[in-house]
Amino acid sequence: MSTANYTGVTKVIFDIVKKFCNVNQAYVLGAAHSKNSGYVTKSDCSGFTGQFINKISEMAGVRPVIGDSFPTSTNYANSKYTQKVTGAFPPPNPKDLIKPGDIFVMSKSSPNGYGHVGVFMGYNSAGQPLIAHSTTRKVDGSTTIGNLGTTGVRVEVIPSWYNKRWMGVYRLNNMNEIAKKLES
């Protein structure tokens, strides 16, 4: 996917996520949860999301709001570092409500299961919401960005079955500051 049609912060975010997609080709639970400004080859959803936040914060010259460790998936919803933008599923489209770089959160699949978290990327030309996340599902060719036949990080239209566990979209408390600095 070309990012030629994107500008400003949206282009920066797509470019960062494309690098994660190109490098991260393995979903490994609990991998890559340490602070790392690079693009690691193995990660899970909260590791990818935490590293994404770390990377955009670093590029903007802003201290990462998440502190010294990455929250687990559902902790983004109950965090002092975020505020809820919407709980609607699918995320509503006027495009100015939810912004690329916001975080989506899904609840645990069971009391002992895991939640899910990723990055909202905006909308495709058909108005469908796009997400970037690290997932156990292998790329089957229907993604916007991702490596065919692998698990790991990809960008795709948000799957309709996410509605069952959807908690909402959250914005980092300092995302507006990050966006302003990335645009300049």
DSSP structure string for the chain: ---TT--HHHHHHHHHHHHHHHH--EE-TTTT-S--SS--SEE-HHHHHHHHHHHHHHHHT---TTTTSPPPGGGGTT-TTEEEEE--SSPP--TTTS-TT-EEEE--SSTTS--EEEEEEEE-TTS-EEEEEEESSPP-S-SSB--TT--EEEEEEPPGGGGGGEEEEEEETTHHHHHHHHH-
Instruction: Find the mean pLDDT for residues 114-131.
Output: 89
What pLDDT is stored for residue 92 in this prediction?
A: 81
pLDDT digits (tens, 9 = 90+) for 52-66: 999 999 999 998 888
Q: Quick one: what percent of the chain has pLDDT higher than 90?
A: 46
Q: pLDDT tens digits for 16-53?
A: 999 999 998 899 988 877 777 788 889 999 999 999 99
**pLDDT class for 3, splitting at 50, 70, 90?**
low
| Of 59, 129, 116, 55, residue with least CA distance to 89 | 129
> What are the phi and psi torsion angles at 149 (to 5°)?
80, 5
Q: What is the mean pLDDT of residues 129-150?
A: 86
Query: Mean pLDDT for the chain?
Result: 86
Query: Tens digit of pLDDT for each residue in 70-102?
Result: 777 778 888 888 999 999 998 887 666 888 999
